[in-house]
Chains A and B, each alone.
Chain A
Amino acid sequence: MTGLVTSFGSGAMTNSIADIVRGARGFFVIGSNTTEQHPVIGMGIREAVKQRGAGLIVADPRRIPLTRLATIHLQHRAGSDIALLNALMNVLITEELYDKAFVGERTEGFAELQAAVATYTPEATADITGVPPALVRQAARLMADLRPLALLYAMGITQHTTGHQNVLACANLQMLLGNLGVPGGGVNPLRGQNNVQGACDMGGLPNYYTGYQLVASQEARRKFEAAWGVTLGSTPGLTVVEMLKEAEEGRIRAMYILGENPMVSDPDVNHVRRGLERLDFLVVQDVFLTETAKLADVVLPGVALAEKSGTLTNTERRVQLVSPAVSPPGQARQDWEIICDLAKRLQKEVPQGLFAGWNYRSPAEIMEEIAALTPSYGGVRHERLGAEGLQWPCPDLDHPGTPILHVGRFPRGLGRFVPVDWLPPAEQPDEEYPLVLTTGRVLYHYHTGSLTRRVPGLMELYPEGRVEVHPDDALKLGIADGGVVRVSSRRGSVTARAEVTQRTQPGLVFMTFHFAESAANVLTIAALDPVAKIPEYKACSVRIEPVA
């Protein structure tokens, strides 16, 4: 997200699902196993390719299902995205295939980009990416032909120490091709969980208030100080990985965790456990006694989505309303009421401020407060959402919402090319840990599995975590398809069943992270992207051996 803020001045999916699947003449899917992670968008891509002949270029270290339909599959090595993207841009520039009008009128920094990618010829990068130079050239030419082209990416791009850089490179490519501000184009990050976009929009981030108003900005601070009647700091807080580290070192002493399960979802799980165990006091509010809730001092039962009213913001910035369908079990309570009750207990006197209090009558009233403090949500009200919702920015009550960002102009004025250089992943394979591990999701499960693992049919279809190993490696290591293996990294080891498959490439193993007992995140590395602070899940070094 930070990457797109740098390039355009706003960070979210630039286009809408509908305009992409209906209007794109081509798709460039990089670091997104769309048909398994975002299945309904995956269906839309397949429909566009099969029914109306749209082109498809997939860049992925694995032979993901979409590659079956792809015109070109660039099977680059894990962690070589920037080298690949720069090579594509190198071809577009040297063969003069880029959109000169767009670059001239709507962007700045082209000369720097040109200089920076000059050495990234397909030939020079082949050693890094493993992709034949002719194929890179072919892909670049196809991209230039297929305009508008929609670029889609997901965690395969962001979950690297260079994630921020990867996103910048994606933005550079799409500006070069002139694919911004038009239907069927755009830079489109697909968000993982159903309300990640909303959690970010609502200021669930250490450096932003709602709507990406900077904690460090004096203007934003004054506004929230006045609204809430308190004094606020101007230094950003800690990210989740930093929190857990500080907890382990005894500087964070109490935590409140709402509906998250870092004991499965976060990198280097052993480290997470040590952090959480070291706390003086841990509160977890969730619907199940998750692996994380088990470590808590107090567990508060919240309610499931089907039991609440409120809004969610999907990956295309669409704010949608849900209403309760069933009533919650036992004494489980509405999550918003729990937080308000607690706030009132801790805030003996209500400070002076228009929004200082905690006496809301309904989630609709909370949305009015959000709208008043958040320009991009200014026109959002529950009663306006109807069947289709509203896409932000929606600054006022008469605004119809914004399906496509950056039409005619970027929030920062001109789009900015920020050249980036390829850097190797934080951890390199060596003799002791010779293989690269990458993690991801499968169709039948979701995130930490706390919901899907309680649906028997889904468990029947995909009962346990598996490790995908390429046949070449399997042969070398004596691993049989279906056999149990131990996967070890510098941080720990887990056992799981091996699946010997051509989906992956030699030297690369793949694991899902939905299963607590074979949690891939015991192995992963907490090294952070220095800007976006997203941990490196997508490449760490491992060793793998059969278990007798």
Chain B
Amino acid sequence: MKTLRLTIDGVTVTAREGMSVLEAALEAGIYIPHLCHHPDLKPVGVCRLCLVEIAGRGMTISCKTPVEEGMVVKTESPDIELARRVAVELLIVNHHADCLSCAKDGACKLQEIARYVGIEEERLQRLRRTTRSLPVDSSNPFFLRDPNRCVLCGICVRTCEEIVGASAIDYAFRGYATVISTLGNRPIVQSRCESCGECVARCPVGALVPRQERNPAREVRSVCAYCGVGCGLYLGVRGNQVVRVRGAAESPVNRGRLCVKGRYGHGYIGHPERLTTPLIKRDGRFVEASWDEALDLVAARLAGYRGDQFAALTSARCTNEENYLLQKFTRAVMGTHNIDHCARL
């Protein structure tokens, strides 16, 4: 791909053809406020926060302007500051900004922008309308939708359309009344939504937040335990508990995407019904046993059934190494080829 050079605030930056000015700046470590831009999605230019001045062209939004050779870009000027401030203030006056009780606090793009732009509290109070209060949609067991914190960036809509392809949500109503809504404004659980959480993973603010999730202390790269797609993911762990899962963007299998089972189906891992000790059936009831007791018993009993009186079922849920060992055990130790698994499919 062709590379180009441009200058941003006097810094020479190399970019690839087809990139936007915003992407080129972000890649070069130059911050430009932005809200509706997301690297996975097509640009739409609705938030008007990413304003820049381009020599010979004037003020424009950088997320929809492709880079050109020799372009001279400025990210600060009195005009930009004024226009940007108006755009941010408009977002904030309608916003239920109770950051301390918000799940997104600290990772919120709106906070980041407000801080960068420098919003004066006094001016805000003067501007603040009687904030409308819309009902929170808590119909989905895995995430909440709080329209009062939505900045209408459309990232969720585009995610659901472009990435997931479910098209469960869209803009509805006009002007001041605009909200993101399902068809017929029904609770999300009654829509076409597949609960994949891809929109939740991309929402820049606290309008789409996972329920019952806590921040992990560390992450471990793994693979989904469910279907044969084998999506790459990170298990977020806190103490000895998996508390959150996110898709691995670098996996060529899923490029960061997950379905509902991969993202939210981890509750079985530390489930109280997990087996924690060997069990031996005595008089029709299971009693707890030590490993030595259990394995001695199994070995003693299996010794009497070597050859074709024995059969083993190995597991499409276990690892390759475990499957290899069980077939080696069946063939080499028990002396039979009676080995299969339940999912020859």
Contacts and interface: CB of A to CB of B under 8 A. Distances in A.
Q: Do A and B truly interact?
A: yes
Given A240-B340, A304-B268, A387-B248, A201 B320 contact: yes
A107 to B, nearest CB: 27
B280 interface: yes
Given A39-B194, A287-B275, A457-B142, A452 B265 contact: yes
Given A204-B341, A451-B225, A199 B265 contact: no
Chain B interface size band reads 35 or more
Contact of B269 (A197, A320, A326): A326
Given A203-B324, A237-B311, A254 B318 contact: no
Contact of B225 (A194, A199, A323): A194
Contacts of A41: 229
B189 A461 contact: yes
Given A331-B276, A452-B265, A255 B344 contact: no
B316 interface: yes
B92 interface: no
B343 to A, nearest CB: 5
B275 A288 contact: yes
Given A261-B342, A301-B275, A254 B313 contact: no
B172 interface: no
Contacts of A310: 319-322
B100 interface: no
Contacts of B220: 306, 323-325
10 contacts: A40-B253, A199-B316, A207-B337, A224-B332, A251-B308, A260-B314, A262-B313, A298-B297, A342-B299, A455-B267
B180 to A, nearest CB: 19
Contacts of A243: 311, 313, 338, 340
A305 interface: yes
Contacts of A316: 230, 253
Which of B241, B309, B316 has most chain A Cβ within 10 Å? Answer: B316
B297 to A, nearest CB: 6
B12 interface: no
Interface in A316-352: 316, 318-320, 322-327, 329-333, 335-336, 338-343, 345-347
Interface stretch (B72-80, B117-125, B231-239): B231-239
B178 interface: no
A254 B280 CA distance: 15
A192 B345 contact: yes
Contacts of B281: 296-298
B278 A301 contact: yes
Contacts of B324: 202-203, 210, 366, 369-370
B257 A314 contact: no
B186 interface: no
Contact of B229 (A198, A207, A315): A315
B191 interface: no
B3 interface: no
A345 B320 contact: no
A275 B246 CA distance: 42
A52 to B, nearest CB: 11
Interface stretch (B17-25, B54-62, B162-170): B162-170
Which of A69, A203, A310, A369 has most chain B Cβ within 10 Å? Answer: A203
A159 B342 CA distance: 12
Contact of A198 (B231, B323, B342): B323
A36 to B, nearest CB: 9
Interface string A222-242: 001000111011011111100
B224 interface: yes
A286 interface: yes
B306 to A, nearest CB: 8
Interface of B: 140-142, 161-166, 189, 194-196, 220-232, 235, 237, 240-242, 248, 250-254, 257-262, 264-271, 273-281, 286, 289, 291, 294-299, 301-305, 308-345
Interface stretch (A43-51, A96-104, A170-178, A414-422): A43-51
A237 B225 contact: no
B298 A458 contact: no
Nearest to B280: A298
Nearest to B259: A39
Contacts of B303: 346
Given A199-B316, A260-B342, A443-B194, A297 B229 contact: no
B332 A332 contact: no
Contacts of B280: 297-298
B337 A235 contact: yes
Nearest to A256: B312
A224 B312 contact: no
A97 B309 CA distance: 54
A43 B326 contact: no
